[in-house]
Structure 1
Amino acid sequence: MLRTDEQTRHFDDFADILLRCNHLYRPSLDSITLLNAVESRRQIEIFDYTNSADAFTRAFGMRNSLKCLQALTSLGTAIHDYRKVCDLGCGSGAFSLAFAYLARNPNLELHGLDAAETQLSLSEELMSVARLPGKFAFEQRSLPAPIGYLPDLTLSSYWFCENEHVIFDPALFDLTVGKELLVVDYEKIIDHITAFLPRGFRVLGRYSANIEVPAALTEFVAQEKASVHSIHIGRVLD
């Protein structure tokens, strides 16, 4: 885990990266309507990304990236050692962006998978504008499915809440995990992953934190603080 002063510096620097991509995040009437609807219901949401990818990204993209960045700080300096990384259900690229920023690894090979073509287009544009080191590729895939290789690390941001059945099926869960898995999701989902973790996997760490949104981003995030829940899982290898 990074020290508080290091985390503050990372969040301030990351804010500059996010502002570089502000045309993807600037609020619109659709995104404000979506944000207000979700905040009023206060429940786990399942979104139609085919029709609302842009609105979703503008409403929640920056906030999710900040949450992912906070979760990634739990990896400490080990984050620089992951070379092959898979972003499962990458959406508009929130986790990919945060990982690439913090890893700063020119040898990084990050592969994002998602079922929604509109989301993948946003991911590609986001990473192109951010200009972070590494190689990035995004592919349309129906998930869960065999990835075709064993990543050093799989990332997942709010994918399990929309595919909760995978948590309870060891065979499907096995398809989602590389050598390690880092999940950012609702606390209820993290509880379920912990309770139903199949044999062959172990919890490396579980974290909850509150983050302060950098002042430069409050126009986009529409709140000053946010909570994040994450779990880090390792595969027990022979």
Structure 2
Amino acid sequence: MACTDVQARTIEEFAEILLKCNHLYHPSSDSIALRNAVESRRQIEIFDYSSSADAFTRAFGMRNSLKCLQALTNLKAAVHGYKNVCDLGCGSGAFSLAFAYLADNPGLELHGLDVSAHQLSLARELMSAAELPGRFQFEQRNLPARIGYHPDLTISSYWFCENEHVISDPALFDLMVGRELLIVDYEKIIDRIATGLPDGFHILARYSAHVEIPAALTDFVAQERASVYSLHIGRTSD
């Protein structure tokens, strides 16, 4: 079976997991207004999650999780080998959900970090509803900060666009990255990280693609496809 067919089938099957969590993703008047406002501006957005966590999750959670899943499929079978994973700026758990689904690993230990208590509560509820294998812990942390260990893999979706100062500060960047780092973000942010990696890091792979939104999710996502830009980084020595 062709790789694109496998990816399409994986995304269709993942849609069933997302639908199990539809109480967290069902559109509201606030989420529709937020999505319309963002799409009309067409720029990098910085959100106030203390006031819009629920609306943000309903507006963009499913789409972001599908984007993260698309990026993760590029890891192929290697995704099953990461046992200690840190979701940096995990928000409501979009990347955590996609990783746990694709890894399908009962031995997985995934640790999500975020500053927003409301977002973290949504992440806990999301992972509980999804009933995926692994152990999941979500902790409130003011980032950037020392994680205290090097996870097998750090994953991050749309955290660097809100913390661009970390990209240009090698000491802060080093604090946040595990043995490897997989980033999903705006193309502009991916470009900036790729061209300015600090010493001690190298690019393992860079991808751009489109993810086709399964028909069952179009009422939630309100679009048929989405662009995905990702960057996979490794430490030169560890």
TM-score clears 0.5? yes
Which residue of structure 2 aligns with residue 179 of structure 1? 179
Name the CA distance, whole Å, in 2 between partners of 1:222 and 1:206. Answer: 27
Name the CA distance, whole Å, in 1 between partners of 2:150 and 2:173. Answer: 14
Unaligned runs of 5+ in 1: none
TM normalised by structure 2 equals 0.99
Unaligned runs of 5+ in 2: none
Which residue of structure 2 aligns with residue 14 of structure 1? 14
Which residue of structure 2 aligns with residue 201 of structure 1? 201
Which residue of structure 2 aligns with residue 109 of structure 1? 109
How many angstroms does 1:211 deviate by?
Answer: 1.1
How many angstroms does 1:72 deviate by?
Answer: 0.3
2:129 maps to amino acid: V
**Partner SS state of residue 75, structure 2:** helix
Name the CA distance, whole Å, in 1 between partners of 2:172 and 2:156. Answer: 15
1:113 maps to amino acid: L
Which residue of structure 2 aligns with residue 190 of structure 1? 190
How many angstroms does 1:85 deviate by?
Answer: 0.1
Matches within 5 A, 1:1-238: 3-238=3-238
CA deviation vs aligned residue, 1:71-124 (integer Å, no higher than 9, x gap): 001101000000000000000000000000000000000000000000000000
Name the CA distance, whole Å, in 1 between partners of 2:92 and 2:236. Answer: 31
**Partner SS state of residue 132, structure 2:** coil
Name the CA distance, whole Å, in 1 between partners of 2:148 and 2:194. Answer: 26
Report sequence identity in percent. 75
How many angstroms does 1:236 deviate by?
Answer: 1.3
Name the CA distance, whole Å, in 1 between partners of 2:182 and 2:200. Answer: 16
How many angstroms does 1:25 deviate by?
Answer: 0.2
How many angstroms does 1:132 deviate by?
Answer: 0.2
Count of aligned positions: 237
**Partner SS state of residue 237, structure 2:** coil
Name the CA distance, whole Å, in 2 between partners of 1:126 and 1:28. Answer: 17
Name the CA distance, whole Å, in 2 between partners of 1:176 and 1:228. Answer: 22
Q: Which runs of 4+ in 1 moved over 2 A?
A: none
Name the CA distance, whole Å, in 2 between partners of 1:102 and 1:113. Answer: 20
How many angstroms does 1:56 deviate by?
Answer: 0.1
**Partner SS state of residue 233, structure 1:** strand
**Partner SS state of residue 17, structure 1:** helix
Name the CA distance, whole Å, in 2 between partners of 1:134 and 1:145. Answer: 25
